[in-house]
Amino acid sequence: MSSSDLDPTDAVRWRLDLAYDGAAFAGFAPQPGRETVVGALGEAIARYLRLDEPPFIVGAGRTDAGVHAFAQVISLDLARSSVDEAGIASMLRSINHQLRGRVVVREARAIPGFHARFDATWRGYRYLVAPGPSLAATNALAWPVEGALDLAAMNDAAALVLGVHDFRAFCKRPPDKTADEPLVRHVYEARWRTARDELALGVAGEYLVFWIRANAFCHNQVRRLVGSLVAVGRGTLTLAHFEAHLAAGVAEGLPSPAPASGLALCAVGYDERHGGPSGRSM
């Protein structure tokens, strides 16, 4: 059976919460000839259910190559006759075994009419910076930044993005948008803090953690913001210039985006009838 042959009267809408290692894939969304999260997950489901083709999968948001997720949410339709509430645990064990830690499906719930993208009210991302030199193993999850950083200045700049803004200066232009079209997003939270390295994973003994939560994000928005916020912390970009770029929607002259490896999708907001939030705010 293929997803296009699915009888609507036999279809069950599932919400799956999952985590994945972004370094293992060329991004979340399907891409011809490249392995992606959706591609690997869909193939694993198809093998377990003996489907002719993978099911159609909708995600709460798309992540780029190298970006991790600890609380991504997807929705998909499966035949009631092929898997039910009793059999879903067996399917999840099979999926997790097949994908061997590159993707981990944490939870599955049947929610009629649920749509992972359109029912999401916000998304939350965390970015990790490792101060000073760091081990290669740490670099897979955090951006090593040497030299002093002014955390207060970085938070002053982060506060400027709160509220509703046109983020053209900090977004990669979508192919269907012209240069003069605004890319408006509503940012609810944006802040830096230090976190002690309780597990002694790094060299410096602490990390700098950036948390940002918004109704939605455009392509590369968080990484470009982080690159500029770190430049403010280094003193190579002034607060006034950061604010001017944001107001003008001009990217020219801003630093390069921060590396993908430090970024992770950590929470997605849903109301209780859609299962409540995934992950947690930070």
Statement: residue 193 has pLDDT above 90: yes
Active site residue 176: no
Statement: residue 157 has pLDDT above 70: yes
Q: For residues 261 and 140, is the Cβ–Cβ distance under 8 A?
A: yes
| Residues β-bridged to residue 194 | 208
**Predicted TM-score of the model (pTM):** 0.94
Q: CA 243 to CA 20: how far, in whole Å?
A: 34
Q: What confidence category does residue 5 fall into, taking pLDDT thresholds of 50, 70 and 90? A: low
In tens, the pLDDT along 213-249 reads 999 999 999 999 999 999 999 999 999 999 999 999 9
Q: Would you state the pLDDT for residue 209?
A: 98
Q: Would you state the pLDDT for residue 134?
A: 87
Catalytic pick from 17, 64, 150, 156?
64
Burial class of 8 by CB neighbour count within 10 A (0 to 12, 13 to 18, 19+): exposed
Comparison of pLDDT for 176 and 165, the residue scoring more? 165
Q: CA 219 to CA 159: how far, in whole Å?
A: 21
Q: Would you state the pLDDT for residue 84?
A: 81
Q: Would you state the pLDDT for residue 11?
A: 92
Tokens encoding 152: 């207060």
Amino acid at 33: G
- How large is the average pLDDT for residues 106-118? 96
Statement: residue 4 has pLDDT above 70: no
Domains of the chain: 3-119 (3.30.70.580), 122-266 (3.30.70.660)
Q: What confidence category does residue 187 fall into, taking pLDDT thresholds of 50, 70 and 90? A: very high
Mean pLDDT of the chain: 94
